[in-house]
Amino acid sequence: MRLLSTRLIISLIIGVTIVSLCSSYYEVLIEKRSMRRDLQRRAEILGDSLARNVERDLQRKNPQTLNRLVQRFAHREDLAGLAIYDPKGQVIAITSQLAPVMTTVPPIVTQVLRDDREADVFQRIDTASLNICAFPLHNDDNLVIGVLAIVHDAGYIRSRSLSIWREAFLSALAYVVLIALVTLLIVRWSVEGPIARTAHWMRALRTGRTPSTRIKVPDLDLFRPLVREVTTFAESLSTARSAAEIEARLREEGQSLWTADRLAVHIRSRLEDGHLFVVSNREPYMHIRSGRTLEVSVPPSGLVTALEPVLRACNGTWVAHGSGSGDQEAVDQWDRLQVPPNDPQYTLRRVWLTKEEEEGYYYGFANEGLWPLCHIAHTRPIFRANDWEQYQAVNRKFADALLEEMDGSERPVVLVQDYHFALLPRMIKQKRPDARVALFWHIPWPNPEAFNICPWQRELVDGLLGADLLGFHIQSHCNNFLNTADRVVESRLDREHFAIQRRDHITTVHPFPISVDFTELPVEFPEAPSYEERSGLLKALGVEATFLGIGVDRIDYTKGILERFLAVERFLEKYSKYQGSFTFIQIGAPSRTHIKRYHDLQAELEVEAERINWRFQKNKWKPIVLLDRQHTHKEIQKYYRAADLCLVTSLHDGMNLVAKEFLAARSDECGALVLSVFTGAARELHDALQVNPYDIDQTAEAIRAALEMQPEEKQARIQRMRRTIRERNVYYWAGSLITELCELRLDSQRRHDSKQTIAASIGSKV
């Protein structure tokens, strides 16, 4: 650092000195020109005033008068004297002080006699610096009869120039000293300080004395371009250390936990030199145009958490709909970009949809047709022929984009996500039969009678049966699909191995329960106690309460939010002692609001919450708080940790990760989970208080039981449920799905093995 300071100060001294000298030179030059012009102007004025008198006396040939005239100007300030010359250049009259200096005729006199035009010149004669200004003299016939030379002493110009140089030097010296001192202070306060703090912070990271869950970069405003890289370095180092500590602890305990690093290594070994492709409607990174800046947003998604480590490990490709307002500005000419933005490790290929395509494919067929059809939540599915056409067209558009990305890739592995792309597997397999294709269906699959409503059920099932592996959350959804396929299309079912053969292609159908990223806080850095967070959250909302319930959902008719409100109302009716002390907070992110059913539902929830609050509210307490806006994951975690209970009352759900997120957040092993039996999570979380959300009284009783349960029983229940999601986390889900896909034999392999078996059999008979 001393070397840096020395170099910086020396550089500043040299720089300031050079700038000062250049500035002084320019100032001296300007001042010198100004003084010369002033001297020339004075000589011209004096010459104009004397010329007529000198011409008159010269014509009269009166040398005595001319001598008296020039002697009168012998003692003027800065005036060295006057001289009068005849047409031959001979001196007629000259000031006595000037005669010893100008012993010869100056060349300018000869020049003026020749050109008949006034002129001036600065010249040095011996040690004297003079300005000679010569004027031609004329007779009445306008003939040149002589020259008047006015000579000024120009030595003061040199003296003034030297004075300016001296003042500039002293000023530069003062500036250099002052700037050096200021620079030392700036380096000490603004450079050495932040660098020292950063070095201390990085040393703490290296030695493990900084909590990995609380990465706080020191003040580096002066080094703004380094902040991003330093932050990324810190996060990578902390993540690596945390993963290593977890692995070491698990080895010590003889346990095996799936982590992002373990998943990456595991899948890399399974893929070998294959390439992984993921297709989803939602993109992992979105660019939003905000004024003149382009901001990166990460949509909350467990899918990104699960699959990004795999894509990073194998330099994979994610194909998704580019829906951000600034997405098109961020891609290259092939609609690709490298992500994550801070540490690019895999490719995001964006697919563009027109407003009509998005309206028909996403909002129309997918969310007004398939979504209510599969959830069987008493909302009539709407199927329009135009929506179906757009759904087919968009599936084809994604298939074309995916095939472009797969071009040149050997043994590609494709993971298609959700009900938006039911036709995609068949389209891919038709062009690339060597590709391994899996589709995971994130929502329920209804029974055959319910699915029979869809006018294009045959096409949908046929598209899905193009996949090599078809995944659902739970076994009953797999069974429903097998029964649907058996009824809708011509196929052969192998119920023992849960496989369907159609068109010489075999599709395996298995359950893969999705989960969440279960990250445990180090014991030495616990979160704030739940009662402190609860008090702070309620105070911010302007509500006073003792007990807190929480619900977190998109505002969707499948989530049972209305039934949840009715259960809270019934609970307060039956157990009036909780009036004034129990508050239920519903975090409801608005969703698909321009679809009429969703818009109407939001209005219904607001009206119902208002009615119940009007009935029970008193002073600063109210029973229901509806927060109908988007919340970040960090904000929601606070509510999870503060709540006495979490209500998950979906009317029908594939899995519902809210239940698992709540349990993962409760490192204090407190709180209770009230869970609908119609969720996939109910198959795994047996210690939750399971309810039928349509039975309002049963749900109300479950709320009472959750609040009055003994702390020991709460802890035992939540410990068992946390153990389940800890062992079967989102990385376990991704690892199981991709591993099974990679281990499946493709149709070409089966045919090859079959031919070899037949040939061997014939050979043995011969």
Asked if residue 12 has pLDDT above 80, the reply is no
Residues 222, 146, single domain; the answer is no
Please enumerate in sequence order all residues whose Cβ is within 8 A of that of 254, keeping only pairs 6 or more positions apart, or say none: none
- Domain end: 693, 711, 727, which one? 727
How much is the average pLDDT of 478-489? 96
* For residues 328-338, average pLDDT: 94
572 with 686, same domain: the answer is yes
Instruction: Reply yes or no on whether the pLDDT at 254 is more than 80.
Output: no
Q: Does 540 share its domain with 424?
A: no
β-pair partners for 289? 294
Q: What is the mean pLDDT of residues 385-412?
A: 95
Question: Which of the listed residues 511, 541, 565 is the one where a domain comes to its end?
Answer: 511
Question: Residue 594: pLDDT band by 50, 70, 90 thresholds?
Answer: confident
The band of 752, judged by pLDDT with boundaries at 50, 70 and 90, is very low
For residue 340, whether the previous peptide bond is cis, meaning omega lies within 30 degrees of 0, is: yes
Confidence at residue 218, expressed as pLDDT on a 0 to 100 scale: 55
Instruction: Look up residue 625 and give its amino acid.
Output: V
Q: Which residue has the tokens 């994550």?
A: 340
Q: Is the pLDDT of residue 108 over 80?
A: yes
139 part of a folded domain: yes
57-66, 126-135, 267-276, 566-575, range with greatest mean pLDDT: 566-575
Same domain, 550 and 660: yes
Reported as a single tens digit per residue, the pLDDT across 640-674 is: 999 999 999 999 999 999 999 999 999 999 999 99
Count Cβ atoms within 10 A of the Cβ of residue 754 and give its class: 0-12 exposed, 13-18 middle, 19 or more buried.
Answer: exposed
Give the mean pLDDT of the chain.
Answer: 85
Q: What is the mean pLDDT of residues 24-37?
A: 81
CA separation for the pair 450, 444 (Å, rounded): 12
Q: Does residue 749 carry a pLDDT above 80? A: no
- Average pLDDT, stretch 602-608? 94
CATH code assigned at 123: 3.30.450.20
Residue 238 has pLDDT above 70, yes or no: no
Indicate whether 759 pLDDT > 50.
no
Residues 26, 28, 32, 34, CA torsion sign? positive
Residue 312 has pLDDT above 50, yes or no: yes
Q: Is residue 739 assigned to a domain? A: no
Same domain, 490 and 581: no
495 class by beta-carbon count within 10 Å (0-12 exposed, 13-18 middle, 19+ buried): exposed
Q: What is the CATH number of the domain that holds 489?
A: 3.40.50.2000
| Residues 393 and 455 occupy one common structural domain | yes
Say what percent of the chain tops pLDDT 90. Answer: 49
Confidence of residue 694 (pLDDT cuts 50, 70, 90): very high
What confidence score (pLDDT) does residue 190 get? 67
Q: Is residue 756 part of a domain?
A: no
Q: How confident is the model at residue 429 (pLDDT cuts 50, 70, 90)?
A: very high
- Mean pLDDT value across residues 74-78: 71
Residues 282 and 381 both lie in one domain: yes
Q: How far apart are CA 493 and CA 83, in angstroms?
A: 129
Q: What is the model's pLDDT at position 207? A: 61
Domain range spanning residue 611?
530-727
SS (H, E, C) 265-334: HHHHHHHCCCCEEEEECCCCCEEEEECCEEEEECCCCHHHHHHHHHHHHHCCEEEEECCCCCHHHHCCCC
Predicted confidence at residue 138, as pLDDT, reads 85
pTM above the 0.85 mark? no
Q: Do 534 and 412 fall into the same domain?
A: no
Is there a domain that residue 632 lies in?
Answer: yes
Query: In this model, does residue 477 exceed pLDDT 60?
Result: yes
pLDDT by residue (tens digit) across 184-216?
777 767 666 667 766 776 666 666 555 444 445
506-534 pLDDT per residue, tens:
999 999 999 998 876 444 444 566 777 88
**Domain shared by 267 and 238, yes or no:** no
pLDDT for residue 90 is more than 60:
yes
Specify whether 236 is located in the same domain as 274. no
201 or 485, higher pLDDT: 485
Residue 461 above 50 pLDDT?
Answer: yes
Does 183 map to a domain?
no
Residue 342's pLDDT is what?
Answer: 81
Percent of the chain with pLDDT over 70: 86
- Does residue 288 share a domain with residue 394? yes
> What pLDDT was estimated at residue 47?
81
Residue in 589, 303, 284 with CA at minimum distance from that of residue 418:
303
For residues 497 and 130, which has the higher predicted lDDT (pLDDT)? Answer: 497
The answer on pLDDT for 76 being more than 90 is no
Question: Of 135, 160, 185, which residue constitutes the final position of a domain?
Answer: 160
What confidence score (pLDDT) does residue 58 get? 78
SS3 category, 446: coil
Domain membership of residue 752 (yes or no) is: no
- Same-domain check for residues 450 and 349: yes
Give the CA radius of gyration of the chain. Answer: 46
In a domain, residue 329? The reply is yes
Domain-embedded: residue 457: yes
Residue 234: per-residue pLDDT: 63
More confident residue, 746 or 567: 567
Domain count, the chain: 4
- Could you give the CA distance from residue 299 to residue 593 in angstroms, rounded to a whole number? 18
> Does 31 score more than 90 pLDDT?
no
Query: Could you tell me the pLDDT band of residue 751, with boundaries at 50, 70 and 90?
Result: low
List the Cα angle 530/535/541 in 5-degree steps: 125
Q: Name the range with the highest mean pLDDT among 23-37, 264-278, 511-525.
A: 264-278
